Amino acid sequence: MEWRDQGILLSCRTHGEYSAIIEVFTPSRGRHAGVVRGGASRKQAPNLQPGAQLDLAWRARLEDHIGTFQAEPIRSRAAASLGDRLSLAGLNAVTSLLLFSLPEREVHARLYQQTEILLDLLGQPDVWPLAYLKWELALLEELGFGLDLSSCAVKGMQANDLSYISPRTGRAVSRAGAGEWASRLLPLPPCLLGHGPAPDPEIAEGLDVTGHFLNTRLAPELGHKPLPEARQRFVDRFTSRI
């Protein structure tokens, strides 16, 4: 069995004295692991940093074996992330959430493309936080937990003052539709609707919303595992600049 594809490196750990086991996210094979012979060597290790874009050739005797990778660097994202603490924290959040949430070898081509676009924005602090927020929305959508922000859950399509989100259903609620229940709902920042310039406090509100649904809808489906700490570290670093 063998295949070839591009992929984003999610993790790398030493295997034996000189080899490494890597996990990658690819458009046609999903999250996939394999051994890189010599991956822990001085020559190869610098190319196997999380976030790196790799040209991959995988081979195994049987499809369900872990197999081996030939991994050639296409581009590194280390310089963009290491030069900015927020970008580094964001990169760690992305790779950790993908490792946490994606079943092995399940294809998610659309999410892969969105992830590649997001990581290519590393080092651009003015646009990255909003792009990351939209990526978390896309992650929820891809895994079957998408938010419905198209209309009011109470008033329907005629409502044009969407201001809240139901913490249970993930549906938008208008100000008029919320009524006396407003205090029990999550705020709906305009940036989640694609409205306005998306200042940092608004993006932080959006991250609270996506974090709620990652914790209450995604995590329970994965055996109630806690979300990766890397996500909270990114949120904390982002909110500290507000």
For residues 28 and 98, state if they share a domain: no
> Is this structure's pTM higher than 0.75?
yes
Can you give the residue range of the structural domain that contains 193? Answer: 79-147+188-239
176 part of a folded domain: no
Q: Are the CB atoms for 95 and 51 separated by under 8 Å?
A: yes
- pLDDT confidence tier of residue 159, bands split at 50, 70 and 90: low
The model's pLDDT over 203-220, given as tens digits with 9 standing for 90+, comes to 999 999 999 999 999 999
In the prediction, which pLDDT does 160 show?
80
Structure token digits, residue 121: 């924005």
CATH number at residue 33: 2.40.50.140
Read off the amino acid at residue 190: P
Checking if the pLDDT of 123 tops 90, the result is no
For residues 129 and 9, state if they share a domain: no
CA separation for the pair 91, 162 (Å, rounded): 32
115-144: b (≥16 Cβ within 10 Å) or e: beebbebbbeeeebbbbbbbbbbbbbebbe
For residues 83 and 72, state if they share a domain: no
Among the candidates 76, 100, 122, a domain finishes at 76
